[in-house]
Chain A
């Protein structure tokens, strides 16, 4: 463990290795590592940006969906209101029609009944005259006894 000339040789070996690492190895490593760190930093920043864009798009999509849902609800409301209205108006139209048809029918019935009554009256008058003629045995002057006949018909 004595100090001797060996240390001179050791210094030379050390300086050669130091020179090699300083001039060759470190430059070979430093630049790619720095470039890679830059790349990774950019990648991370891009990922952050992408995440933010995604969040924004998500929020926008949610807005659009909410709007669409509101609009759809409005449309459904409108449609149901409209259908109720249509049913109401159809009902109204139908009842008016029914009324009208009923009135028409009633009128027709009254008309028919009046006509039948008229015919019946005429028949009764005629039959009465005929019967009376046979009973009296002579012809009754219809014109002369018209007031009696008319009274008869009215009574019937």
Chain B
């Protein structure tokens, strides 16, 4: 645990909550988020390519079977929701699902592994957050792409005129008095989708990460008393850390997959809703 640095629990949490960043103000770049998401994206791309490269009409085995299972799962879900040429939407869902799983899974790495590596390489105070989906920038970025896709699909289905008309004429009706309420409601409706999408994933993963930190603090309590009196309290704290850590990690596997699934399905739902005429 981080107790050997003589940190307080607050220091420990803050240390794990701080991004490795460069730049000032808005032009701050979270190096850890960018690197970890790029690495997981590259891993996903490589894994899928390695599997898909051996695709035949025969019996799929090994990695190909796994990749095909994921693909067919996503494609089936997309097909249930969206009726039309779904080739691109399958790719979108496939990308979101696989990438978010890969990124979320970073949460299951040992919490202090980055600090440990940093300390081992001589940068004791370096910070590194491994979980790109616990960074609002990471989830909002995907949600923004989804937002533009929703608008793009709506315009493709209704034309620019039809889409703009819907902004002022739906859902209350085309009377000029109702233009402003329509506009306000549509803005809320449009923006609520990506915001909720991004915030949901961020909130779940951030909370999961935070809980891992709190569980790790139990170990810190045990560690600080290790040199001194060996009592029931520290021992209980140690066992609690092991028990809760393992339990939460196992439960977190479910959250990792569930959040990826939600972030895959909802954009498809939004896009198919956007194509419907009010």
Contact = CB atoms under 8 A, between A and B. Distances in A.
Interface string B1-38: 00000000000000000000101011111100110011
A24 B132 CA distance: 25
A2 B90 CA distance: 31
Contacts of B48: 21, 25
Interface string A1-16: 1111111111101111
A14 B45 contact: no
B57 A32 contact: yes
B140 A25 contact: no
Contact of A32 (B28, B55, B91, B138): B55
Contacts of A22: 87-88, 91-92, 95
Contact of A28 (B37, B55, B138): B55
Contacts, number: 129
Contact of A13 (B29, B38, B90): B38
A113 interface: no
Range for the number of chain B residues in contact with chain A: 35 or more
Interface stretch (A33-41, A51-59, A75-83, A93-101): A33-41
A10 B55 contact: no
A26 interface: yes
A5 B23 CA distance: 9
A112 to B, nearest CB: 107
B55 A26 contact: no
Contacts of B49: 20, 24-25, 28
Interface string B64-85: 0001100110000000000000
A6 B55 contact: no
B30 A6 contact: yes
A36 B59 CA distance: 9
Contacts of A2: 28, 136
Nearest to A23: B91
Contact of B29 (A9, A28, A32): A9
Q: Which of A1, A4, A10, A36 is most buried by chain B, counting CB atoms within 10 A of its CB?
A: A10
B144 interface: yes
A103 B170 CA distance: 131
A13 B67 contact: no
Contacts of B67: 25, 29
A18 interface: yes
A17 interface: yes
A136 interface: no
A143 interface: no
A3 B144 CA distance: 13
B273 interface: no
Given A6-B30, A6-B33, A10-B137, A17 B41 contact: yes
A13 B28 contact: no
A25 B30 contact: no
Contacts of B132: 10
A11 B53 contact: no
B52 interface: yes
Given A17-B44, A25-B48, A33-B71, A6 B144 contact: no
Given A1-B206, A3-B136, A6-B21, 6 more contacts: A6-B135, A10-B141, A28-B55, A29-B67, A29-B68, A32-B57
Interface of B: 21, 23, 25-30, 33-34, 37-38, 41, 44-45, 48-49, 52-53, 55-58, 67-68, 71-72, 87-88, 90-92, 94-95, 98-99, 132, 135-138, 140-142, 144-145, 202, 206
9 contacts: A4-B25, A5-B23, A7-B141, A14-B41, A21-B91, A21-B98, A22-B87, A25-B52, A33-B72
Interface of A: 1-11, 13-18, 20-22, 24-26, 28-33, 35-36, 39
Q: Which 8 A-B pairs have the closest CB atoms?
A: A10-B141, A22-B91, A6-B137, A28-B52, A7-B137, A32-B55, A4-B28, A6-B30
